[in-house]
């Protein structure tokens, strides 16, 4: 992926997809970290309803298989459209934000995903992005009458609304620099805040759906690294891996929902730990330490040898650098984040 080099370059993080407030459900994420992107129900009249029962899932069957039966016959608001690399919004707050994007900027999409089958808490994940090619500020007349726009966007969700939106901001992505991910990238903690491991992005506060979240300046380089390399991009030459006893790991208390406690004083913030147990294991990154000297991790993966074999070539105790980057990359590509905490 490419990030614009101009001083005014920016990225907008935007929550999309079905969720508890828009549709009453969450899309699934599977044990290997792959997922289904499921749009929310279409709240407006549409000329060409595509129901959840008709929309194909990437893992086979229809999207309705992952949703409550009451949603099967509902038309979906398929936006962002990752086939056309287009996203639009007619609601005033988001429309204003979209109109501030410029060619070369990033529009990064994240969604709440729930483990399938159940057994852990939902989390927020990056699911894809558009590298902006063009931004359109449209009114209902142009949506309905401009033949060039209808040829380009006529099959997308907002152009299928009848009547058209009074005003619409539409973002077209550069196809070669935009994508729907195959494996979701971690973004949020067990609540609605950014992972502490991503504090370098400079964003604080809730990642709720209402509005998008801007990233500028040095944060863009970290975002680009995260989109390219994921958790392995957090590893520097001084980062180390420590083997710890399985008994040293436990779920964090509710105040740190979704985190993992590592009761070992050796690893510093930024180091990784590996705990082996019954042929499987858990890999975790320490992102802070408690006053009691215990580590806390939000990025962690737990492996059951029967369901998800542990990748080979575990680095030696205390090793780091390139060997650790390769190992973390293999783990993150084969296993969903989490796995040590049951849903309350």
CA distance 328 to 228: 14
In angstroms, rounded to a whole number, what is the distance separating the alpha carbons of residues 329 and 325?
Answer: 6
26-41 as b/e: b if 16+ CB within 10 A: bbbbbbebebbbbbbb
CA distance 317 to 298: 21
Q: Which residues contact 176 (CB under 8 A, 6 or more apart)?
A: none
Which of the residue ranges 26-30, 114-118, 257-261 has the most confident prediction, judged by mean pLDDT? 26-30
CA dist 20 and 194 (Å) reads 19
Mean pLDDT of 182-209: 89
Domain boundaries, the chain: 10-229, 241-332
Residue 343 pLDDT: 36
Per-residue buried b or exposed e for 280-301, using 16+ beta carbons within 10 Å of the residue's own CB: bbbbbbbbeeeeeebbbbbbbb
Q: What is the pLDDT of residues 45-89, one digit of tens each?
A: 998 788 999 999 999 999 999 999 999 999 999 999 999 999 999
Radius of gyration (Cα) for the chain, nearest Å?
A: 21
- Higher pLDDT among residues 340 and 265, named by residue: 265
Q: Quick check: 341 pLDDT over 50? A: no
| pLDDT value of position 209 | 73
Contact in structure between 75 and 49 (CB atoms under 8 Å): yes
Predicted confidence (pLDDT) at residue 168 exceeds the cutoff of 60: yes
Predicted confidence (pLDDT) per residue in 212-245, tens digit: 999 999 999 999 999 999 999 999 989 999 999 9
Q: Using one digit for the tens of pLDDT, what is the confidence trace for 281-304?
A: 899 999 999 988 899 999 999 877
What are the tens digits of pLDDT across the range 124-159? 999 999 999 999 999 999 998 889 999 999 999 999
Question: Comparing C-alpha atoms, which of 156, 329, 152, 319 is closest to residue 237?
Answer: 319
Identify the three-state secondary structure at position 338: strand
Asked if 253 contacts 138 with a C-beta cutoff of 8 angstroms, the reply is no
∠ CA 169-2-269, rounded to 5°: 105
Structure tokens at 272: 């990784």
Helices (H), 79-121: 92-99
The residues with which 33 forms a beta bridge, in sequence order, are none
Partnered with residue 27 across adjacent β-strands are 113
């Amino acid at each position: 992926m490419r990030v614009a080099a101009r001083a005014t370059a920016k990225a907008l993080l935007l929550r999309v997809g079905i969720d508890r407030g828009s549709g009453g459900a969450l899309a699934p994420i599977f044990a290997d970290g792959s997922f289904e992107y499921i749009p929310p129900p279409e709240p407006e009249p549409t000329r060409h309803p595509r129901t959840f029962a008709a929309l194909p899932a990437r893992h086979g069957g229809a999207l309705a298989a992952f949703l409550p039966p009451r949603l099967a016959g509902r038309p979906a608001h398929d936006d962002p459209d990752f086939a056309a690399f287009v996203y639009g919004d007619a609601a005033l707050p988001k429309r204003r934000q979209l109109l501030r994007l410029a060619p070369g900027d990033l529009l990064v999409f994240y969604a709440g995903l729930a483990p399938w089958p159940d057994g852990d808490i939902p989390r927020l994940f990056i699911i894809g992005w558009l590298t902006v090619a063009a931004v359109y500020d449209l009114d209902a007349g142009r949506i309905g009458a401009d033949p060039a726009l209808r040829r380009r966007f006529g099959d997308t969700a907002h152009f299928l609304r009848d009547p058209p939106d009074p005003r619409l901001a539409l973002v077209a992505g550069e196809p070669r620099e935009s994508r729907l991910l195959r494996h979701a990238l971690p973004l949020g903690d067990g609540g609605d805040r950014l992972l502490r491991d991503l504090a370098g992005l400079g964003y604080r506060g809730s990642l709720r759906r209402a509005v998008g979240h801007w990233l500028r300046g040095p944060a863009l380089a970290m975002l680009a690294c995260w989109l390219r390399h994921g958790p392995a991009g957090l590893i520097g030459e001084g980062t180390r891996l420590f083997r710890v006893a399985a008994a040293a790991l436990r779920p964090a208390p509710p105040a740190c929902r979704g985190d993992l406690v590592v009761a070992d004083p050796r690893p510093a913030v930024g180091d990784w730990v590996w705990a082996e147990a019954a042929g499987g294991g858990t890999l975790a990154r320490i992102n802070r330490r408690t006053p009691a000297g215990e580590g806390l991790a939000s990025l962690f993966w737990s492996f059951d040898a029967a369901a998800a074999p542990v990748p080979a070539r575990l680095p030696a105790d205390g090793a780091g650098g390139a060997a650790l980057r390769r190992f973390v990359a293999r783990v993150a590509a084969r296993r969903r984040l989490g796995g040590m905490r049951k849903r309350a």
